[in-house]
Amino acid sequence: MPRRLLRLLSALALACAGLVLTGVSAHAACTCEGEGSIAQQARQADVVFTGVLRDQQAQGKQRVYSVDVERIYRGRVADTPVEVSTSTSDDCGLGSLDLDRGYIFFATRAGGTTLESAKCTGTGRATPAYVKDVEEALGPGNAVPQPPGPEPSAPEPEFTKVAGAEPMPFTRLAAPGGAMVLVGLLGLLLFRKRA
């Protein structure tokens, strides 16, 4: 029995060592060592763009970001805002990002229009220095036209009374019209007498 217990303990120790080594290698895979230059990261990405993070939600083993795209450096996006997902099941995901902040996303297409990104892809805050580095490697990119806002409504007209101006009395307004009627009647009478 002691021999059997010794074998069991040995097997348990080997299993624990395997778990520790597996955990270390999975974590080491996301240290981003040797991730390459911006140009190399862009070649591995289907889309590189800047945008402002508007929303993020956890959906199962994914975190989904809703991003208003502002400038595209590589590839195309169908529309803005666009959704980018990342894994939450390991240390390779992007994690929780700050809302209403600008980011540069290096993303790949995971079938259809779904975009995915991760920690070691090049995705990061769109600081002026990082944007400059990306533009040096990929060029100035193309601005994405923003959807037009609501049309401004026409202002209501304002009527201002001029100081000291009183409306003209009706008799004075009607006098020219009355004179024209009289001239017309006189002309008609003269025309009838001649005829």
Q: Which element (helix H / strand E) includes 102?
A: strand 102-109
Mean of the pLDDT values across residues 12-35? Answer: 51
State which CATH number among 3.40.50.40, 3.10.20.740, 3.40.720.10, 2.40.50.120 fits the domain covering 38-139: 2.40.50.120
Are 123 and 108 within 8 A, CB to CB?
Answer: no
Mean of the pLDDT values across residues 150-156? Answer: 77
pLDDT, tens digit (0-9, with 9 covering 90-100), for 10-20: 555 555 444 44
Q: Helices in 29-97 by DSSP H: which ranges?
A: 38-44
32's tokens: 């981003």
The span from the CA of 53 to the CA of 83, in Å, is 10
The span from the CA of 65 to the CA of 81, in Å, is 10
Please, which pLDDT band fits residue 148 given cuts at 50, 70 and 90?
low
From residue 100, alpha-carbon distances to 66, 163, 166, 185 in Å are 11, 52, 57, 79
pLDDT, tens digit (0-9, with 9 covering 90-100), for 104-130: 999 998 876 789 999 889 899 999 999
Tally the C-alpha atoms within 13 A of residue 180's C-alpha that lie toward its C-beta. 5
So where are the chain's domains? 38-139
How much is the mean pLDDT over the chain?
Answer: 79
Please, which pLDDT band fits residue 96 given cuts at 50, 70 and 90?
confident
Q: What is the pLDDT of residue 55?
A: 93
Which is higher by pLDDT, 168 or 9? 168
Nearby residues of 146 by Cβ (< 8 Å), 6 or more positions away? 80
